[in-house]
């Protein structure tokens, strides 16, 4: 049984590596989170400028407040403005997203996921990349992973 942990409590100033992102985000909220991960941090104006077909500035501020209430985002004051940051560390968010993708689309099978990736990109992978993948597989085999 897999247990999904909740994001940190609202108001927490710590980036958590022990929490996973939950999947209760709208498309627009996901876009905002993606912008914050890509930039590390951003003001509401910077988020608005990075969004496709951006909503009004006040709508972006409202969405950032909602994301903060949900525990996905925190802010720091930088003079007169707020700078927003994700509350979940990037590496942990990647692991959580990958776990969710494996569970949702590949029945939890890393083999099926890797096979799908190789089918899509095998013509694009260099010999060096294929050698590195082979070494990673050998490493996993030797460590019993």
Segment among 4-18, 21-35, 44-58, 79-93 with least mean pLDDT: 4-18
- Residue that wins the pLDDT comparison between 50 and 92: 50
* pLDDT score of 121: 62
Range of the domain at 116: 109-145
Q: pLDDT digits over 90-101, tens only?
A: 888 788 788 888
Output the six-digit token pair for 51.
């969004």
> Residues 81, 142: one domain?
no
> Residues 114, 101: one domain?
no
CATH of the domain at 47: 1.10.10.10
Taking 80 as the threshold, does the pLDDT of residue 54 lie above it? yes
Q: pLDDT digits over 116-133, tens only?
A: 888 876 567 888 988 998
C-beta of residue 21 within 8 angstroms of C-beta of residue 88: yes
Q: Any long-range contacts for 46-55 (C-beta under 8 Å, 24+ apart)?
A: 47/84, 55/28
> Residues 91, 135: one domain?
no
C-beta of residue 42 within 8 angstroms of C-beta of residue 50: yes
* pLDDT score of 1: 35
Count of structural domains, the chain: 2
**Mean pLDDT (the chain, rounded):** 81
């Amino acid at each position: 049984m897999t247990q999904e942990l909740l994001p940190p409590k609202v108001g927490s100033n710590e980036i958590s590596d022990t929490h996973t992102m939950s999947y209760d985000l709208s498309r627009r909220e996901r876009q905002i989170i993606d912008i914050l991960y890509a930039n590390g941090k951003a003001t509401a104006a910077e988020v608005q400028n990075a969004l496709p077909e951006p909503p009004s500035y006040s709508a972006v501020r409202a969405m950032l407040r909602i994301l903060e209430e949900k525990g996905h985002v925190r802010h720091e004051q930088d003079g007169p403005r707020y700078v927003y940051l994700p509350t979940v560390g990037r590496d942990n968010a990647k692991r959580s997203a990958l776990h969710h993708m494996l569970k949702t689309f590949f029945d939890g099978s890393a083999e099926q996921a890797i096979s799908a990736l190789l089918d899509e990109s095998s013509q694009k992978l260099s010999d060096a990349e294929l050698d590195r993948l082979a070494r990673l597989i050998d490493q996993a085999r030797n460590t019993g992973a």
